[in-house]
Amino acid sequence: MRATRSPEPASVGEAVVHPSRHGPTRVELRGEFDLDDTAWCAAVDELIHQGWAELELDLAEVLFADSTFVRDLYRLHHHAKACGGAVSVVGASPLMMRILTVTGIAELVGAAVLGAPDT
């Protein structure tokens, strides 16, 4: 009999919110984000709707993101802007930064590469 290893569960994306009234509300995104995982976006969208329109999304622990994730960043940016706020992205890996740059999102949200010095 051969032993087989069961596949590891997918690292579902999650958002951890750190509200702040003295600066942007920090949202740490962790795990994998794809078409089946849009709850994080609805939660962040609700934050904006409730008046927390200055957001800093930390992507340092994002393991995977598809085009749905990029679309959601675009949509969140416009929602925050319409509410008088802004969305910024920090901690993007070099690969994530490339994706954000190629799609034009980096310019919209002022994305910063993981470990890059502040400018």
Q: Is residue 97 part of a domain?
A: yes
Position with higher pLDDT, 64 vs 10: 64
DSSP string, 26-37: EEEEEEEE-TT-
Answer for the pair 53, 23: CB distance below 8 angstroms, yes or no.
Answer: no
Q: Looking at the domain assignment, is residue 55 inside a domain?
A: yes
Q: Supply 81's token pair.
A: 């802007």
- Average pLDDT over all residues of the chain: 84
Confidence of residue 6 (pLDDT cuts 50, 70, 90): very low
The answer to the question of residue 4 being in a domain is no
User: Stretch 14-20: mean pLDDT, rounded?
Assistant: 88
Task: Let me know if residue 9 belongs to a domain.
Answer: no
* Overall size of the chain counted in residues: 119
Q: Which domain holds residue 32?
A: 14-109
Considering the domain boundaries, does residue 5 fall inside one? no
The structure tokens listed for 35 are 């078409």
- Per-residue confidence (pLDDT) for residue 105, from 0 to 100: 92
CATH number, domain of 93, equals: 3.30.750.24
Judged against a pLDDT cut of 60, whether residue 7 lies above it is answered with no
Number of domains in the chain: 1
What integer pLDDT is reported at residue 85 of this predicted model?
93
d(CA 3, CA 97): 40
pLDDT at 76 over 80: yes
Sign of CA dihedral 64, 66, 72, 73: positive
